[in-house]
Amino acid sequence: MDNKARRLVIIAGMHRSGTSLLANILHTLGFSLGDNLIPAPEYDNALGYWEPQEVVDLHEALFKAMHLRSDDCDIFPAGWQGSAPAQQAKNTITQWLGTFSDQNRFIAVKDPRICRFLPLWTEVAKEQGFDVSFVLPIRNPLEVALSLAKRGDEYRDTQRSLLWWLAHVLEAERNSRGHKRVVYIYPELIENWQDVAERIARNLEFSWPEEYTYVGEKIENIVSPTLYRNQQSSDALNAIDQLGWAAQVFDMFSLHSAGKDELNLGQLDKIYEQLVDFLEPLKGGKFTPHGSDEEIKQLEKAIMVQNAPWWKRLF
């Protein structure tokens, strides 16, 4: 294991996929995530977001420059990486990486928006001499959609949330190919964080700066089954995913994480191309399911009721 190289581990996971928990664990095991971290409200993520303000700001500025919001699922316009805003973003990434001393050899960055901008980060980090690698946390997209729905009415369109999940996950996978990376499914981290940590160290080829012996108890106090809410089965996802792409992709990642199958890159590319073609006419608009499928609507309602606070179920 080579611990001499300066490492940048990019956490490339969709919102509500346990990326904050992973960042917290990496920090406890000796990684630096920057100083100017965004405070998280108690009601949303009491253990912290672990997102640097500068990183979030540069990603939001890029979305704005493309006349998009960060919660749009649109595919970016051709040539965006060569635009003036993209160049400014690369300058900001360079400045942010420069805030870490040369002696700091273990750096991680976490912001779900980063899934859409991996080419910029990879290019800049390599120019700065970093060994760049990736961790891709994957969560059942229906669980993600249900968690997002609790943020407000604008996130209650389940089908649109599945498309948003696809845009993040497929672009993170495509743009981390050829690099050292790890894929795991969210409940694996909850059930056995140490196994996931060992997989990360083994696949990314380093030894943790801090040993489990000294920080294991602290991590045990961080990881809790209560962090895994809105649990849903693959059957429920298959039933509600009208396009079927999110269910297919999640199934492929699940089998891969369990060591049962290699990722079918050709099939992932095909689904990505279908997604691009499907999103082109929407241009950031609200996704409207084809036709009026009462069965889908009833299933969505039942799932929402199932995951509502007990007192809301009485009314």
Least confident of 205-214, 228-237, 279-288: 279-288
**Burial of residue 62, with CB atoms counted within 10 A of its CB: 0-12 exposed, 13-18 middle, 19 or more buried:** buried
Which residue pairs, CB below 8 angstroms and at least 24 apart, start in 258-261? 258/185
Least confident of 42-56, 179-193, 219-233: 42-56
Contacts of 203 (CB under 8 A, 6+ apart): 180, 181, 182
- Asked if residue 257 has pLDDT above 90, the reply is yes
Q: Quick check: 105 and 144 in contact, CB under 8 A?
A: no
pLDDT for the residue numbered 1: 65
- Asked if residue 313 has pLDDT above 80, the reply is no
Q: Which residue ranges make up each domain of the chain?
A: 7-309
Q: Quick check: 111 and 59 in contact, CB under 8 A?
A: yes
Q: What is the 3-state secondary structure (H, E, C) of 245-302?
A: HHHHHHHHHHHHHCCCCCCCHHHHHHHHHHHHHHHCCCCCCCCCCCCCCHHHHHHHHH
Q: Quick check: 110 and 50 in contact, CB under 8 A?
A: yes
Q: Which amino acid is at 199?
A: R
What is the spatial distance between Cα 13 and Cα 257, in angstroms, rounded to a whole number?
14
For the segment 37-93, what is each residue's pLDDT rounded down to a tens digit?
Answer: 998 776 667 678 999 999 999 999 999 999 999 999 998 988 999 999 999 999 999
Q: How many CB atoms lie within 10 A of CB 47?
A: 14
* Buried-exposed string 180-209: b where 16+ CB fall within 10 A, e elsewhere: bbbbbbbebbbeebeebbebbeeebebebb
More confident residue, 136 or 297: 136
Res. 184 pLDDT band, cuts 50 70 90:
very high
- Asked if residue 265 has pLDDT above 90, the reply is yes
Per CATH, domain 7-309 is 1.10.132: no
Retrieve residue 267's tokens: 């099939």
pLDDT for the residue numbered 2: 64
Share of the chain above pLDDT 70, in %: 87
What is the spatial distance between Cα 99 and Cα 95, in angstroms, rounded to a whole number?
7
For the segment 88-127, what is each residue's pLDDT rounded down to a tens digit?
Answer: 999 999 999 999 999 999 999 999 999 999 999 999 999 9
pLDDT for the residue numbered 157: 93
pLDDT for the residue numbered 42: 64
**Burial of residue 249, with CB atoms counted within 10 A of its CB: 0-12 exposed, 13-18 middle, 19 or more buried:** buried
Best CA proximity match to 291, nearest among 167, 159, 166: 159
